[in-house]
């Protein structure tokens, strides 16, 4: 084999090696996306469990955005999974870019949803603290009224004893 043929063969092997590396990177990206999806699933399940139908508009918007991102994720992963191996190799740069974009979108959705939920939970906590302060205030007022009632009862009893003494 001539030197140019060997050089061409070496270049071809380098290209295949690079493509193989990209396919491996795409598999890593899929795994990374799976991890992000688990975190999002846990967050969504906690929202469902803790907050239910009382979600503020910004949290609903974040959930809608997440739904759109998950639809895109499903389509991309299905496309990648169904693609022929040669297509995966030759389109690996395209898939790598798509997976990175998807990962970025999932991370942004997670952060947005977490932030809206945190803001909502802080608001709920402030409202609970306010209600607790109001209940404590009402309890103090009730205790004060009870002491006044007891005082009045004592006065009434004293007055009754005096009236009994006067009558005798």
**pTM, full prediction:** 0.55
Determine how many CB atoms are found less than 10 A away from the CB of residue 110: 19
pLDDT at position 140 is 95
pLDDT at position 4 is 65
pLDDT at position 147 is 94
Collect the ranges in the chain with pLDDT lower than 50: none
pLDDT at position 1 is 57
């Amino acid at each position: 084999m001539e030197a140019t043929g060997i050089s061409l063969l070496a270049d071809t092997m380098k290209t295949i090696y690079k493509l193989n590396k990209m396919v491996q990177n795409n598999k890593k990206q899929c795994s990374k996306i799976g991890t992000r999806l688990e975190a999002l699933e846990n967050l969504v399940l906690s929202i469902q469990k803790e907050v239910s139908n009382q979600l503020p508009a910004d949290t609903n918007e974040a959930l809608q955005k997440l739904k759109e991102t998950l639809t895109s994720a499903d389509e991309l992963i299905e496309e990648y999974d169904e693609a022929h191996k040669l297509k995966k190799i030759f389109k690996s740069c395209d898939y790598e870019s798509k997976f990175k974009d998807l990962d970025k979108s999932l991370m942004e959705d997670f952060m947005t949803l977490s932030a809206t939920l945190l803001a909502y939970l802080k608001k709920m906590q402030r409202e609970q603290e306010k209600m607790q302060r109001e209940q404590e205030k009402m309890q103090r007022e009730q205790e004060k009224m009870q002491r006044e009632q007891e005082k009045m009862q004592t006065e009434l009893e004293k007055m009754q004893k005096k009236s009994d003494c006067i009558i005798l």
